[in-house]
Amino acid sequence: MSASELDEHHPRLGWGMPYQGTMPWSCAPDTVALTWTAQLQPGVAYYWSGIPIPPEMVHNGKLRGRATLTAVLKPVVSPYAETNYFATRLETSLQYGVKKDKWKSLLGSMLESALPENDARENLKKWQPVRRHCRDFSKGAGLALSGNQVRLYARVYARDLYQFGWNTNSDVGPQEVAFVLTLRGPGGEPSIYNSTAQMLGTFVEGAVINQEIEITNEQ
């Protein structure tokens, strides 16, 4: 889903075609994707700091390019289904520095908890276990930037704990979340993958997936 063609969910097409010349589990030639999983305790704010901004995305001190953040929560679900079927939800954003010790959201509105409940459900799909935030900022002068890193924020919220016999967030336990962050330069520079890998050094593990697909035709 992180490689799908559409930036917004379509009621009939979903997120669109995941294949655009490259298998969905591989990085396209002009992109770099960081993937990881984490266990998040509800009610706790988590930050992944120190994510380097590839030099291909910085032009004249401004941030330019395209980024996609996909996060999938394995939610706690209600035994009673109905409108409150999902009992846990995820809120996440990718943030960049605009001034010293001041961060601004690059991906993710962070309005899920601020808007009225019905508006957040309708417009932001507040309680859906999948969060996908896309943004193209490759045009124009770019975004004013301070520093050379971005950070990812995530927090899990829980509701209706009484139906499980729980009283606090600590009773819910850690929730499993998978993250995929995909970055692309404004000109589709193929060097972005190697640049990011070199900047991250030993902090990440590169993955190569061997594809063995057998196709048979039966008459």
Per-residue pLDDT of the chain (219 residues; tens, 9 = 90+): 888 888 888 888 888 888 878 887 888 889 999 999 999 999 999 999 999 999 999 998 899 999 999 999 999 999 888 889 999 999 999 999 998 889 999 999 888 988 898 998 888 889 999 999 999 999 888 999 998 999 999 999 999 999 999 999 999 999 999 999 999 999 989 999 999 989 988 777 766 666 665 666 665
E-assigned strand segments in the chain: 31-40, 46-52, 58-59, 62-63, 66-73, 88-99, 102-107, 130-136, 143-144, 149-158, 175-184
Residue 213: the pLDDT is 59
Total number of domains constituting the chain = 1
- What residue has token string 């120190």? 50
Domain hosting 125: range is: 31-203
Give the CATH number, domain containing residue 152: 2.60.120.380
The stretches of 25-78 forming alpha helices (DSSP H) are none
Query: Is residue 102 domain-resident?
Result: yes
Q: Is residue 19 part of a domain?
A: no
User: How many Å apart are CA 84 and CA 46, to the nearest integer?
Assistant: 25
- The reported pTM is 0.87
Contacts of 148 (CB under 8 A, 6+ apart): 52, 53, 58
- Domain assignment present for residue 17? The answer is no
The verdict on residue 154 lying in a domain is yes
Domain presence at residue 208: no
